[in-house]
Structure 1
Amino acid sequence: MKYYNKLLLLACLSGALGACADDEIAAFKTDKPESIVEYEYLNAYDALKTYVDRTANPHFKLGTGVTESDFLSKGLVYSLVCANYDEVTAGNAMKYSSVVGNNGSMNFSTVRDLVKVAKGAGITIYGHTLCWHSQQNNKYLNGIIADKVVESEHPSEPTLDPSVISNGDFEDGTITGWGGWGNSSSRAISAAGQGHNGGHALKITNPTVGSDHYFVQTSYNVAFKSGETYQLSFYVKGASTGTGQVVAQDANYAGDPFLDKSANKDFAITTDWKLVEMKATVTADRTLILLNTGKYEGDLYIDDISLCHVNTGGGGGIVTNEYAVQSDFENGLDNWGGWGNSSTREVVDGGGYNGTKGFKVVNPTATNSWSAQVAYDFASELVAGETYYLKLKIKGSVAGNIGAGFQKKSDYSGRGDFPAMSVTTGWKEILTSVTVSGENADRFLFNVGAYAGTLWMDDIEIYREVKGNTIPLTPEEKADTLTYALENWIKGMMEATEGYVKVWDVVNEPMSDWPDPTQLKSDPNHTDTENFYWQDYLGKDYARVAIKLARKYGGDNQVLFINDYGLEGSGNAKCKGLINMIAYWESDGVTRIDGIGTQMHVTYSLDPVKQQANEAAVISMLELLAHTGKLIKISELDMGIADVSGTNIKTIAVTLEQHKMMAEYYKFIVKKYFEIIPAAQRYGITHWSPADSPDNQNSFWRKGEPIGLWNLDYNRKPAYAGFAEGLSGK
């Protein structure tokens, strides 16, 4: 059955009607439009599949891709397919998202209909596809590996927020933030070596004993919140024994006492360093913490003061950290940068905590704090109104202070500053926090301009605590869950096709595009919301899993292909990478991959140099594939056309001469397939779209481009002739 151009058929019909007209009408004559004459040569061609030498290629399949609804309606597309092709590939019907619902239920009704109609027409089906990253039901797959609910009625253990006292170890050599009064008492920084474990301490001197603790008070401004619990810890030492008290107080002198574990208001002072731990639940908002030592006479030393808000937890609640930054500098700068005042930043071997790699920052002279900055730009904006924690290990060449905060980088406006941080000449760990004060916080800054010297930093973390009653699945749990889902899917598909589909794209498009096409595609941070990468959960061996399941449920006689695009790209890097990856998968001695599919969504270039390179790359790709000894299928061949600048030309603008150039490229590709691929390895060629792509909102593939062998009216194009001649070997 031949498919003639519709325009030509209409012209013939017009001629027949004219023969029955009266003499006046019969006398009227006109020439055929030139546009029809130019295409009349296409009528001499037979159906495409007749050009395949079946004696030399007894197993060769000539296929096409179809929209399943067009094929199932048994209209023009169905007739075209049956006349011209041996095999069909469904555009979407056999893909995961077309079958699997949001709750994991599977509807194979369209697949079963496709099998029934194809079987009745004697057309085989190429299964497309069993395991792919695209067109997955992400909602279902992400849902089954989401954090699991913790089934517990018991409250979680209390946790502590960072200390609200920024100068609690006094290693900067000052008592900044601390004040006091009463009984001619004094407060000063101790001499070096008099602090807990060396260094400095806060020295409080009361010349004479008083009748009550509040006769001498040492203060620090703190914003206590009503109803909240706070834990205080510090080390204390005196020249003699005695007691003291701690109170959270407001401006009206009302207060809440801190109590030790035995509910004692007093803390003991001994002649050796002693750790004091006390708690208070405040009954109203308070503004000060007071160390009351009026009943102790003489010199008193206090060090390592920490005051933390207590998170009491909830029923089964879990606290997890959502990190904006985690940098240990073992792999380099990790996106840290900065500027100002001739300052420098680098990663140095042995410069980190415990001799690991460390981040070295040098500011040569002291200026304004913001004149030298160390910066980190976040991948996504911080959440306004949320509290974020900064944790790091740090030391310096001299003692001093540095600042830190968040910023909106587009206009440099602040989004919250951390309390000033003291730096000592020995390693210390700092944990501090600030609430993000506005939208669009996307940069973190260390302000080091006022610090003259060298800073060493390591293990920098910026995060917020996310509280809930869930906990993440382990990688092993996610892999097990997804393997179960993949097994259900493959089992269901094999049952729905009832053994009629014997050839499959078992894994589709596995290889990366950039930066390394020799490696698998990957989305390790799971930022791609459009796709689902099985390999990121099942590992590099994920193809072995899919192949094992396909043979388990479809039988060992299944013909399984690995299919990918861009194998004909310049240098054939992806082709080589795919061949090597297949060799790895088969290296276990169990996995068997029967064939390789090369999609070949090609473009004819009007730049002769580019086009020559295109053709050379096609030849080298086919040679590489032939050397594998596997079945080779051109699985999704279609063609666009580009001008010399590389801009794709829409169908409406393609000239007849350019159509014929495309026809020659089709002929070249198909002929080279038969010339280079040995007969025993020729599985077949599938042309991906019979007709051109429409230029409207319903078009999702190469929109408005001349990709078909027929135009949108199903008239043959010069590409049809080139394809047919390639099949015939002419």
Structure 2
Amino acid sequence: MNKKLLALAAIAAMSVSSISAAEVSLLDANSIHGNASNLSGWGAQVEAVDGVYTLEVGADLANPWDAQLFICGNKTLNAGQKITFKMQAKSTSARALQTQAQGDMGGYLANLGPDFEVAADWKSYEFTGEVPADGMKTIAVNLATASEACTISFKDIVWTVEESGETPDPKPEQPADVVASWYTGNGATLGGWGGATFENVDEDGKPCLKVTNPSECANFWDVQLGIDVNLDFDKTYYLSFDVKGTPAEGITSGIQNSTDYDGKGNFTAFNITEDWAPVVIEALCSQGNKESDANRITINLGKYVGTFYMTNVVLSTTNPAGVDAVEVAPVVNHWTVYNLMGVKVLDTDNEAAVNELANGIYVINGKKVAIRH
């Protein structure tokens, strides 16, 4: 899953189409030269000639995101902001391109617009919608969505955001106990290896990672789903997700170092059922046998045969299914009641007396309550 950006060809300045006063371009024509560009490639070399950006994509790549075009904006966006993304594209091999919202390049956040069918002739694509997650700075286009090698070209790329001039309300921060979350794989921090296929799909209206292992392997670790994330020793982690697929029991997972593979703890086993079911597994992260970091979670699939779908993947430090995640309501044994004129009408330890109040709106223990019989 560890990928490195390839060296880029020098990229000429892009002419930005005219936009309305309410729309602000996220592409700065003065910043798209050479390596400090708004366009870059992953798994494919980018060439720019007269405003046309061309990439060579190899054959039989394992995942759609193994060849990507990154379009990096000049500001960070928040969920709910309205954006428009346009481009023209053509390919020597027909395929359906996919778009993703990302933070930094390779930092998957969510799927973006609908798939885009391309073929030999130029075809226009336009998506207008809302930013799906806070922190979006990049649009990634997945290019390896067919097995054939191809040459893909892009031009007339436009990315704008609608701004009203008003300061938006600050977005709530992610809960402190949530370490990371995903809906689908991204090939950078959530993906897999071995003889299985890993695909981003929609299943029952949910964005999912679809995993298919066609046959049993010699070892359980021969096929794995991996999550690359830095973990702290002596801390318990909870991995929760929704899953359905070919039924299986006792699937194992663990924590390790991604370089020396030293084990850093084991998660509790989980089952897969035909219908969607929530799963929560937990593990205590430990030092292991070597002085190396704990930076990868692996789910062992070498002995699993079939297909399953996974979504709503959340790694946290509190158990979402346990009592430590539930706020316990305080015990109430005294009721002070005022009417809306501010006159105290009841001060009692008897709950039955509260229930005998006439219909109306009262302030009971500091909260406005409507009583109806």
TM range (shorter): 0.3 to 0.5
TM-score, length basis structure 1: 0.19
After TM superposition, the score normalised by the length of structure 2 is: 0.36
Based on CA coordinates, which of the two structures has the bigger radius of gyration?
A: 1
Question: If each structure's strand is expressed as a fraction of its own residues, which one has the higher value?
Answer: 2
Structure showing the higher helix proportion among its residues:
1
